[in-house]
């Protein structure tokens, strides 16, 4: 069962539920598709009997008296079958399209609700593969299921028709029916395993390609393109083997069907011939019996439908693994009046089996500026993420103005805390959109004020269309991108500002100007800055020195500078 948490989807516990829910979401279309397919199957069952009747009339009335009507009936059935086949094709395509769109919408919303944790677990390339490829395959499940149910009516109806012509005909066919059922069952089981291996190998290739694209400049600079191609395509032999196994399974099933189905058909025809000789069947009924034997043994159609359903189920299982990742829950509390006092109580956070922060206790008074320094791997970025609940600690509590962050309402939390990052994402259609991102109907004067504070207004005005320039058409350096990210956070009226290495690409003069703007921005707000330069740490009200996953000391830069270990952090260029 799917529930919601403050308007956001809760995790899906059963991996198969995406398939069931997609069927339920497209229930009306599936019902119409099933009805059309069933009518088509019914007409296919009526056609042999009609042909047989027309043949009998021609044999008994060589002048054609009475036969023309049955011939017209045959022509009408063939015409209707062609029309219904076209309708079934259109309905199947639209049903799959709607189911795929819904699955992608749900998966995208869930991933955004889970947050960065989803990318850390699955990898961006793997997530893209599941969102694009697996969602499209799983989206075919409703149409495949409706078509399969209708296709099952064909063999069942054909066996019933054989029984109506003569019980011996149905008995001969049913004698071999268990072998057909075993064939379909074996095919389904073997195909499921092959499809799962194939899709897993596809996901690993997509993940490797995503990593290579992200590091394309490094690859080009090092001249290792050939090596990276080999790395990305390393799962290709496994993909090939899985693909070959899929074809082998399907070919083996088809070969067995080719061997078994004709034997059953020959058995039915032989018995029909005996019955014809004995006068229990007419020539037309024998023709109908031969056609019904073909329909009853139509394993090929069922194998094709089952194959599609197996692939859809395997894809739905991969989507279910993502949907089972729990979303970040939020409370309903509001913040009391305050200046943004941030407090970490006994915070411990682990990543990849390592404890990066161990029992951290830290208090940042409201309205003050805290610089966080430490060597690489000391947990600075993780502490910055915990401060605004972009991540949750494994133990301990983070509070803002006395309220634990998990108890805050989602919108309240995001309004209260603003972030700037080392490599900000330029989201939105235009430069103005990316600065105002996250603020509903941000007024132009606020956007320009944020840009001016981040020292971005000058270069933005030089762009072809100024603030209306599309982000994709704006040639920006690393420092200019960082300033747009800073402009975004400075355009917000946040109680707490967190800068995670957001000044690293700025020159010394620009950094000095931006820090001035930060210190003067929101006098009632708190600022937490991950600092790498002495000048930034020196201008903060206090400095938290992280060392070995713990807070080594908290104090002014002047006081901490007396500590040799603190000075060595900056001497190594790792502050």
Rounded distance, CA 514 to CA 533, Å?
14
Number of domains in the chain: 2
Residue 328 domain flag: no
**Closest-CA residue to 268 (of 180, 184, 159, 152):** 159
Q: What is the pLDDT of residue 161?
A: 85
Phi and psi at residue 332, to the nearest 5°: -130, 5
Residues 399, 277, single domain; the answer is no
Residues 419, 505, single domain; the answer is yes
Rounded distance, CA 415 to CA 338, Å?
14
**Closest-CA residue to 175 (of 262, 255, 303, 267):** 267
Classify strands 354-364 and 342-351 as parallel, antiparallel or unpaired: antiparallel
Rounded distance, CA 33 to CA 88, Å?
6
526 neighbors 354 (Cβ within 8 angstroms): no
- The angle at the Cα of 306, spanning 302 to 307, to the nearest 5 degrees, equals 115
Residues 526, 390, single domain; the answer is yes
Q: What is the pLDDT of residue 20?
A: 82
Residues 416, 509, single domain; the answer is yes
141 neighbors 19 (Cβ within 8 angstroms): yes
Residue 76 domain flag: yes
Rounded distance, CA 359 to CA 176, Å?
70
Residues 366, 465, single domain; the answer is yes
Residues 526, 453, single domain; the answer is yes
Phi and psi at residue 511, to the nearest 5°: -60, -40
Residue 88 domain flag: yes
> Other C-beta atoms within 10 Å of 7: how many?
9
Mean pLDDT by 10 residues, the chain (575 residues): 39 58 86 89 87 82 72 89 90 90 90 82 83 87 84 82 86 75 67 75 79 74 80 84 77 64 77 85 85 73 72 86 88 92 93 87 92 88 92 93 94 90 84 84 84 88 89 81 88 88 79 78 77 86 90 91 88 58
- Domain holding 358, by residue range, is 342-571
Tokens coding 574:
């790792």
434 neighbors 489 (Cβ within 8 angstroms): no
Residues 463, 370, single domain; the answer is yes
Q: What is the dihedral of CA 270, 275, 278, 280, to 10 degrees?
A: -160
Residues 297, 378, single domain; the answer is no
140 neighbors 319 (Cβ within 8 angstroms): no
Rounded distance, CA 233 to CA 411, Å?
43
Tokens coding 119:
């990318």
Residues 211, 354, single domain; the answer is no
Residue 246 domain flag: yes
Residues 318, 378, single domain; the answer is no
CATH at residue 296: 1.20.1560.10
Q: What is the pLDDT of residue 389?
A: 92
Tens-digit pLDDT profile for residues 109-131? 888 888 888 877 888 888 888 88
Residue 332 domain flag: no
Q: What is the pLDDT of residue 253?
A: 66
Half-sphere exposure of 120 (CA within 13 A, CB side): 10
Report residue 14 CA to chain centroid gap.
16
Residues 243, 353, single domain; the answer is no
Q: Is the pTM of this model over 0.85?
A: no
Q: What is the pLDDT of residue 21?
A: 85
Tokens coding 547:
């060392």
């Amino acid at each position: 069962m799917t529930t919601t948490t403050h308007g956001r989807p809760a995790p899906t516990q059963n991996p198969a539920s995406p398939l069931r829910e997609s069927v339920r979401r497209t229930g009306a279309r599936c019902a119409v598709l099933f009805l059309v397919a069933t009518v088509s199957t019914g007409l296919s069952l009526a056609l042999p009997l009609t042909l047989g009747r027309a043949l009998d009339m021609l044999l008994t009335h060589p002048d054609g008296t009475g036969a023309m009507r049955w011939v017209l009936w045959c022509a009408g059935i063939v015409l209707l079958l062609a029309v219904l086949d076209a309708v079934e094709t259109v309905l199947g395509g639209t049903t799959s399209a709607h189911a795929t769109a819904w699955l992608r919408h749900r998966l995208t919303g869930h991933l955004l609700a889970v947050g960065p944790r989803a990318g850390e677990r699955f990898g961006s390339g793997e997530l893209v593969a599941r969102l694009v490829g697996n969602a499209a395959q799983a989206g075919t499940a409703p149409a495949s299921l409706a078509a399969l149910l209708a296709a099952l009516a064909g063999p069942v109806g054909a066996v019933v028709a054989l029984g109506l012509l003569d019980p011996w005909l149905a008995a001969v066919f049913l004698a071999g029916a268990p072998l057909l059922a075993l064939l379909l069952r074996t095919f389904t089981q073997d195909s499921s395993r092959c499809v799962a291996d194939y899709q897993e190998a596809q996901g690993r290739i997509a993940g490797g390609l995503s990593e290579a694209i992200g590091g394309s400049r490094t690859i080009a600079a090092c001249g290792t393109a050939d090596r990276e191609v080999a790395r990305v395509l390393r799962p290709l032999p496994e993909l090939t083997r899985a693909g070959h196994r899929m074809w082998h399974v399907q070919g083996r099933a088809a070969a067995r069907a080719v061997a078994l189905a004709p034997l059953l058909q020959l058995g039915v025809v032989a018995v029909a011939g005996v019955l014809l000789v004995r006068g229990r069947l007419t020539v037309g009924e024998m023709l109908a019996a031969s056609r019904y034997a073909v329909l009853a043994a139509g394993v090929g159609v069922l194998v094709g439908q089952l194959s599609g359903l197996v692939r859809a189920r395997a894809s739905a299982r991969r989507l279910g693994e993502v949907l089972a990742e729990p979303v970040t829950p939020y409370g309903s509390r509001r913040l009391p009046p305050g200046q943004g006092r941030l407090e970490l109580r006994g915070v411990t956070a682990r990543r990849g089996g390592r404890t990066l922060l161990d029992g951290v206790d830290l208090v940042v008074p409201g309205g003050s500026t805290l610089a966080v320094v430490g060597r690489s791997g000391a947990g600075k970025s993780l502490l910055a993420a915990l401060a605004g609940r972009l991540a949750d600690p494994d133990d301990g509590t983070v509070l803002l103005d006395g309220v634990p962050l998990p108890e805050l309402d989602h919108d309240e939390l995001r309004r209260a805390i603003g972030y700037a990052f080392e490599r900000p994402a330029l989201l939105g259609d235009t430069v103005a959109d990316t600065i105002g991102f996250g603020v509903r109907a941000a007024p132009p004067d606020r956007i320009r004020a944020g840009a001016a504070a981040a020292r971005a207004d000058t270069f933005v005005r030089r762009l072809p269309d100024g603030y209306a320039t599309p982000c994709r058409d704006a040639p920006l350096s690393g420092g200019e991108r960082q300033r747009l990210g800073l402009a975004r956070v400075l355009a917000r009226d946040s109680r707490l500002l967190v800068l995670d290495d957001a000044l690293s690409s700025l020159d010394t003069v620009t950094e000095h100007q931006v820090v001035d703007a930060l210190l003067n921005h929101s006098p009632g707000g708190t600022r937490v800055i991950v600092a790498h330069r002495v000048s930034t740490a020196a201008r903060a009200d206090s400095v938290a020195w992280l060392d070995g996953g713990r807070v080594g000391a908290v104090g002014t830069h002047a006081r901490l500078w007396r500590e040799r270990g603190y000075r060595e952090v900056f001497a190594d260029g790792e502050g």
